[in-house]
């Protein structure tokens, strides 16, 4: 077993060797520019891109022409949100724009929404339950109040793994002619998503969350949905996203999507079993351990996700004590901050409990041996830290 044991698969995933194999020719031999149509190398690159585009589309039930290739989910989210607002204002100058999102979104949605708020949009942020779920009835009331242009609700949360009821949300939005965007960076390839059935208009994907390369992703934009280009310089990608395409990365994204589509059910069952094994070991030997988010016995949680609060233990100290196990205390994109996770706080955790929480992300390459090792390390270190903790002394 190689150390450290990597259990931070929500932050990023290891590149699948099969994906790397698919990419290599486009880094060495087939190095043409996909926009060059005057010679064979350019044609080969263009064909590879279109094959990958179709693989991405197949994973989510879209058509290849509805896939806009980007640098990742952050760009896709910005393009969807800002692009939809700009397109609406270009079509109807001076129109009032209302956007609805929810409190546990990734910063790649919340920050663009905050920026749009400063540009004169009205942004409504819905609360969530202890499980991290929005209340569809509350969304219905908002939609029946002030007209909205767009609703942005993530398919799966990046910290607690909660799967939102996207089909119910999509139906509410479509009935009212409101665009529905979903950040699916965590859900795509891990949970079944069908953009047609869920009535999703815009959906964001990132390659490095599904065992593909970093720096590449996609935006699904339903045919007929207007999105204004945010990066200008050549009118690539149906005029929505300019820039020379990262052919090797796109090939890797496509290969990762194809593998996920073929292996999703089997992989989900295996990861769920590993998660249950880890949780059993922790709860059997440690007291006052609590799981955050949706009930692990249900189907509202990503298979490999476990968000665990160890009462009376500082999570940063715990991570220092288990350096041979790679986990995180919150979203990787906010890990430089000492503030409590906005996701955990939105679920109702106290600041102390939020600072006592680990995010564990089990992935494709983890084994039972690694899960057992991680459990042993945590079970060994937590009591040591509690002995030194004034907060734990007060609890007990």
pLDDT digits (tens, 9 = 90+) for 156-172: 999 999 999 999 999 99
Q: How much of the chain exceeds pLDDT 70, in percent?
A: 98
For the record, the structure tokens of 39 come out as 């010679």
Of the residues 121, 173, 257, 333, only one is catalytic, namely: 333
Among candidates 25, 41, 24, which has minimal Cα distance to 33?
41
**Burial of residue 167, with CB atoms counted within 10 A of its CB: 0-12 exposed, 13-18 middle, 19 or more buried:** middle
User: How many Cβ atoms sit within 10 Å of the Cβ of residue 371?
Assistant: 21
**Pairing, β 217-221 against β 67-70:** antiparallel
Q: What's the confidence (pLDDT) of residue 296?
A: 86
Give residue 396's pLDDT. 80
Half-sphere exposure of 40 (CA within 13 A, CB side): 2
In the prediction, which pLDDT does 149 show? 98
Q: Residue 228: pLDDT above 60?
A: yes
CATH 3.90.1150.10 fits 5-12+264-395, yes or no: yes
Are residues 100 and 139 in contact, defined by beta-carbon separation less than 8 angstroms? yes
Whether 17-259 and 5-12+264-395 are alike in CATH topology: the answer is no
pLDDT in tens, 265-296: 999 999 999 999 999 999 999 999 999 999 88
pLDDT band at 337 (very low <50, low <70, confident <90, very high): low
Which is more confident, 37 or 312?
A: 312
What average pLDDT does this structure show over 319-332? 87
Is the pLDDT at 352 greater than 80, yes or no? Answer: yes
Total Cβ atoms within 10 A of residue 144: 10
For range 361-378, the mean pLDDT: 98
| Cα three-residue angle 215-316-156, rounded to 5 degrees | 45
Paired with 67 in beta bridges are 220
Say how far apart CA 1 and CA 356 lie, in whole Å: 28
Pull the structure tokens for residue 143: 């939609």
User: Cis peptide before 89, with omega less than 30 degrees from 0?
Assistant: no
Can 113 be counted among the known catalytic residues?
no
- Residue 391: pLDDT band by 50, 70, 90 thresholds? confident
Round to whole Å and give the CA distance between 245 and 200.
25
- What's the rounded Cα separation, in Å, for the pair 206 and 188? 8
Strand, helix or coil for residue 105: coil
Higher pLDDT, 146 or 217: 217
| Sequence spans of domains, the chain | 5-12+264-395, 17-259
Phi-psi region of 189 (alpha: psi -120 to 50; beta: other; left: phi over 0): left
Residue 303: how many other CB atoms lie within 10 Å: 20
Q: Is the pLDDT of residue 334 over 80?
A: no
Is residue 336 pLDDT above 80, yes or no?
A: no
According to the model, what pLDDT value does residue 333 have? Answer: 53
Query: pTM score, two decimals?
Result: 0.96
How far apart (Å, rounded) are the C-alpha atoms in residues 69 and 52?
A: 10
Mean pLDDT, rounded, of the chain: 95
Please name the fold of domain 17-259: 3.40.640
SS3 150: strand
* pLDDT at residue 326 tops 90: yes
Q: What does the block give as tokens for 183?
A: 């950040």
DSSP-derived secondary structure letter, 155: S
- pLDDT bracket for residue 335 (50, 70, 90): low
pLDDT digits (tens, 9 = 90+) for 248-258: 999 999 999 99
Section 61-75 average pLDDT:
98
For the four alpha carbons of 44, 47, 51 and 56, in that order, the dihedral sign comes to positive
């Amino acid at each position: 077993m190689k150390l450290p044991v990597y259990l931070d698969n929500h932050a990023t995933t290891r590149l699948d060797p099969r994906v790397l194999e698919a990419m290599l020719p486009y880094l060495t031999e087939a190095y043409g520019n996909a926009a060059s149509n005057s010679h064979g190398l350019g044609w080969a690159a263009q064909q590879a891109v279109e094959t990958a585009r179709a693989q991405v589309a197949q994973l989510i039930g879209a058509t290849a022409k509805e896939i806009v290739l980007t640098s990742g989910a952050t760009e896709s989210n910005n393009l969807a949100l800002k692009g939809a607002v700009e397109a609406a204002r270009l079509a109807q100058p001076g129109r009032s724009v209302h956007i609805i999102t929810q409190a546990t979104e990734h910063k790649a949605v919340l920050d663009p929404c905050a920026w749009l708020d400063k540009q004169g949009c009205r942004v409504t942020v819905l609360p969530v339950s202890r499980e991290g779920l929005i209340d569809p009835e509350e969304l219905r009331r908002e939609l029946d109040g002030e007209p909205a242009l767009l609703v942005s609700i993530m398919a799966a949360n990046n910290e607690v793994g909660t799967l939102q009821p996207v089909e119910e949300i999509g139906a509410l939005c479509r009935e009212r002619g409101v665009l529905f965007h979903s950040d699916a960076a965590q859900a795509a390839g891990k949970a079944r998503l069908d953009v047609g059935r869920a009535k999703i208009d815009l959906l964001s994907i990132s390659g490095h969350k599904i065992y593909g390369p970093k720096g590449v992703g996609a935006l699904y934009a339903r045919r007929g949905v207007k999105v204004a280009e945010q990066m200008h310089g050549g009118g690539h990608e149906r005029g929505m996203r300019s820039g020379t395409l990262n052919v090797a990365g796109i090939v890797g994204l496509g290969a990762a999507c194809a593998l996920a589509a073929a292996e999703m059910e089997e992989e989900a069952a295996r990861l769920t079993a590993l998660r249950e094994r880890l949780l059993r070991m922790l709860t059997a030997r440690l007291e006052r351990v609590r799981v955050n988010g949706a009930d692990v016995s249900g189907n509202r949680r990503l298979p490999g996700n476990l968000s665990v609060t160890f009462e009376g233990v500082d999570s940063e100290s715990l991570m220092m004590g288990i350096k041979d196990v790679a986990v995180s205390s919150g979203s990787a994109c906010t890990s430089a901050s000492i503030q409590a996770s906005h996701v955990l706080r939105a679920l109702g955790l106290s600041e102390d409990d939020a600072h006592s929480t680990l995010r564990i992300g089990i992935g494709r390459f983890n084994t039972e041996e690694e899960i057992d090792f991680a459990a042993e390390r945590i079970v060994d270190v937590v009591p040591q830290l509690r002995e030194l903790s004034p907060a734990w002394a007060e609890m007990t």
